[in-house]
Chain A
Amino acid sequence: MPADESVVEITDLVFRWPRQHAPCLDVPQLCLARGEHTFLHGPSGCGKSTLLSLIAGVATPTTGRVALLGQDLGRLSSRRRDALRADHIGYIFQQFNLVPYLSALDNVLLACRFSTSRRARVEAGGASLRAEAERLLRRLDVSADLWRASAATLSVGQQQRVAAARALIGGPALIIADEPTSALDGERQQAFLDLLLAEANGVGATVLFVSHDHRLAASFDRNLALPQINRAAGGEGVCAI
């Protein structure tokens, strides 16, 4: 795949929830270039989460095209979309990112369980899965005594950093972070963001970071306001479900 190709390419996207008349998203054009770090903001209910679901392939556009690494997600079977997400997307939620009954380490390794290509990429780097997971946890400042602790016993900040390690393992092309810092206090937000972006740079991953906290925008290559690219009437409120 050529280096200049877009990781995400959206053209003439219209998305309408079932049984709703007005479209929630109407995005004529959006490209995320390889390695690009984008800050996406907008008021709640403006369709940010819906847009992320479309890019992650758990929802498909009503009309138009959402392509991940050149593949039109709308044309793929749900099996292929799930496989594509497993292979190429690292996803970080706002909070409660971890499976409570698995250890921190197992939560990181979880990303490799559903994707052979992630496993293969880690092993191609010459490290065992466990060693790579430990390396990432260390890089993200999760101390070794917490690795085997049950995820439920970790603090919110520790959980988010473990989630970041899971998103990063196996070097996916795209990291989607859906307000991952909103549960953290001020100074920890920036520290988390710095770690995440540094590691994403390390694997050359594209980052789509959603937040409504504009103070964080300075760290990104690109600053996007969803209401500005979304032509859906009013935008606001329609996407809230």
Chain B
Amino acid sequence: MRARVIAGGVVSSIAVLVVGWQLGGQPAVTAPAQQSTTSGSGTTGTSTGTSGSTGTGTGTTGGTTGSTGTGTTGGSSATGTFTGDTTQTRYGPVQVQITVAKGTITDVTALQLTNSDGRSVQISQQAAPILRQEALQAQSAQIQSVSGATFTSEGYTTSLQSAIDKAGL
């Protein structure tokens, strides 16, 4: 190849790359996307720490908990929302966000950064582990039925469903 082409090519390519570098460098989107999943990785505390070892293959990874985000830090009194580093998965970049209250992780969310194409539907449709604390007392005024493992006729009489049916809700 001729010297002129090589020289000109190298020079203009470098120019293009520099422009690209300047235009890029944005961090991954920090606002949670519409659909979010939670990731078991990095959770401590109350979760029973399955951390994706059941092989769901969602591809959200151990993004190390970085220190970006709002909230006070400092050992066991940390409170707030923290965002970790971005990891590349086949669905696009994923960032892990954790919510900490008084040193205990209360929520782990995987932020979907590419949420407008079919890929994010796939990953966000995956069932992911959630923390078990949310248990509502039966607000019977609000439900008309319960769904659980099929009860026998005998079992019915002592079940919630029976109570609801009797109340005529």
A binds B: no
Q: Which residues of B contact A (CB under 8 A)?
A: none
